[in-house]
Structure 1
Amino acid sequence: MIEALSYDFVQHAIIAGILVSFAAGIIGSLIVVNRMVFLAGGIAHTSYGGIGLAVYFGLPIFLGASLFAVGAALLIATLTMKSRHRIDTFIGLIWAVGMAIGVIFVDLTPGYNVDLMSYLFGSILAVNTEDLYFMGGLLAVILFVITFGYRHILAVSYDSEYAALRGVNVRFYYTLILILSALTVVVAIKVVGLILVIAMLTIPVYIAEKLSNSLFSMMLLSGAIATLFTLVGLWFSYTYNLTSGASIILVSAASLGLFLLFFGKKTQ
């Protein structure tokens, strides 16, 4: 694969994989500890509505998907702030409506045959410079938020009632977590697609959780593990001419299986 590094699209894919992997590792950790794994799949499928709107109105796909995903996150935050145990119900509803909106607007777009495979299973080799700026900017925002709001995010994630008693603005941080999750899901779709995004956000986090003793170390380790899985998956994809998103997830799943086989009992 060394000779392939001379191609711009391969360089872009590697950079995108690293940026998205660390974003997914950090946000995936928050999704797991907040017990909102279903949220990732819900927002991923909901964002298809934004893809459909972007196609219909001729907007950048990333912009349409991001705005729609953030809107869905804000709606979920509003509906579930007082009853977080009902979050799965609302996510399921928004999931179906978002997908339906996307399909309808794609159908209404004259003369356009959308390549569903690129959205379902990712198209990391099609990442351009503008996409990299978006991914890099999102990771910078995530790192900024975690650096300066870590203690409050930690409190809200593990015990929101206690955090509220301590004067933490639980609504703000809960909504912030959902918005960052939505944007991370959107960039992860570019890498592995909306069908496989849950695996990217949870498999590295599961392994990191078993090897970590704090949320911060779990975030860093899961980001590093996700990066390793992504790079190895890209190598398999290039070497054997396979779909990149599916290759990344299969590498992740195989690694998880080996981890459970050799270290499962030690980490229980």
Structure 2
Amino acid sequence: MLEALIEPLQYGFMQRSLIVAILVGLLCAVVGSYLMVQRLALLGDAISHSVLPGLAIAFLVGANIFVGAFIAGVISTLLIAWIRTRSPIKEDAAMGIVFSAFFALGITLITTIQKQNKIDLNHFLFGNILGVTFDDVRDTAIIATVVLIVVFLLYKELLFYTFDPLGAQAAGLPVNQLNFGLMLLIALTIVASMKAVGVILVLSLLITPGATAYLLVTRLHQVMILGAAIGIVSSISGMYLSYFFNLPSGPAIVLVVSGLFALAFLFSPNYGVFMRWRQVKTKQLSNE
């Protein structure tokens, strides 16, 4: 058993991949907790799809794809806010409009680049964590450090804004800046996760660990801590499954975290389907 755990670590690509997997699992769970509590999963989906044209353009001009993706994410965030504030269109509709347009543009650019250069850019969509370089590990670590420091420093403000935006505004907090800042954190998190699971599957890592933790604990900091543990365990487990069974790494990670959610959904002490059924049966028997 121990030999099986140690065997993949003799390879440099697995060492780099596991470091990125741990960072991404931790980062997505912490930032995604805010999305889940605010019921803004669609926002994460919108930004994750919107970074695609930035990736393609950065690749085309030879720039850092992390920078290109982040710029595209920021632009999409500004467009969503602009449409929402300058028209009667609601935020969810604005998200749908922007992310579908950006995603279509990104797919068009990637298809054009692939035809001209005869290369495969599908790893942008589905991830290729086994192919991460030292520079990718460094960039991911820097992004994760920056995001986690900001979350730590603004925890109370973001907590207040997340659960009571109107109350936070009445208390004098800059809610617009907090909202935009949260979107920037989401964009950075998505950029950091691209190599691991790609822009299509990143929403699962953003939402599912926090949702799983939410079924088991009640307070936001507990959701973050447990969600981070779930994200890290899922990322590492997915990497080992990918190594030993020759599976695509990104989907393997997502399948593991989805499986853990299914277990919590069925067996959570407070919200589990089977536990509730058992409580109902016990109550019926006691009444008889």
Output the TM-score relative to the length of structure 1: 0.92
Aligned to 1:191: 196
Which one of 29, 44, 53 corresponds to residue 33 of structure 2? Answer: 29
C-alpha deviation, 1:244, in angstroms? 0.3
Q: Which residue number in structure 1 is paired with residue 236 of structure 2?
A: 231
* Whole-Å separation in 1 of the counterparts to 2:161 and 2:87: 15
Asked if 1:175 is matched to 2:160, the reply is no
1:137-183 CA distance string (max 9 Å, x none): 22212222122211110111111111011110101111000010011
* In structure 2, distance between residues paired with 1:82 and 1:267: 46
- CA apart distance, 1:130: 1.6
* Cα distance in 2 for residues equivalent to 1:85 and 1:230: 38
Post-superposition shift, 1:254? 1.7
Pairing 1:102-141 to 2, within 5 Å after superposition:
102-109=106-113, 111-141=116-146
Choose which of 62, 68, 74 in structure 2 pairs with 1:64: 68
How much has 1:14 moved relative to structure 2?
Answer: 0.5
Say if 2:93 is the partner of 1:89.
yes
Show CA shifts across 1:63-112 (max 9, x none). 21121112212332344469999222111111122123223333554732
The Cα RMSD (Å) is: 2.2
Q: Give the Cα–Cα distance (whole angstroms) in 2 for the partners of residues 101 and 142 of structure 1.
A: 28
Q: Helix, strand or coil for the counterpart of 2:182?
A: helix
Q: Counterpart of 1:106 in structure 2: which amino acid? A: I
Q: Aligned letter for 1:68?
A: A
CA distance in structure 2 between the aligned counterparts of 1:90 and 1:112, rounded to whole angstroms: 34
Secondary structure in 2 aligned to 1:206?
helix
Stretch deviating more after TM superposition (147-156 or 256-265): 256-265
Change (3 A) 1:61 1:25: same
Mapped contact 2:215–2:265 kept (Cα < 8 A): no
Q: Please state how far the C-alpha of 1:211 moved relative to its aligned partner.
A: 2.1
> What are the Cα deviations for residues 4-41 of structure 1, in whole angstroms up to 9, with x where unaligned?
21211101100001111111011100111122101111
Give the whole-Å Cα distance in 2 for the aligned partners of 1:42 and 1:208: 23
Structure 1 gap ranges (5+): none
1:241 to 236, 242, 246: 246
1:233 partner letter: G
Q: Distance in 1 between matches of 2:132 and 2:276?
A: 37
Distance apart, 1:187 and its partner CA: 1.8
Identify the range of structure 1 (230-239 vs 118-127) with the bigger mean alpha-carbon deviation. 118-127
How many residue pairs get matched? 268
In structure 1, distance between residues paired with 2:86 and 2:150: 24
Distance 1:136 1:244 in 2: 19
**Is it true that 1:74 corresponds to 2:71 in the alignment?**
no
CA shift for structure 1 position 114: 4.3
Match of 1:211 among 211, 216, 221: 216
Q: Percent identity?
A: 32
Q: Once the 2 structures are TM-superposed, how far is the Cα of residue 115 of structure 1 from its aligned partner? A: 2.1
Q: Which moved more, 1:219-228 or 1:76-85?
A: 76-85
Greater displacement, 119-128 / 12-21: 119-128
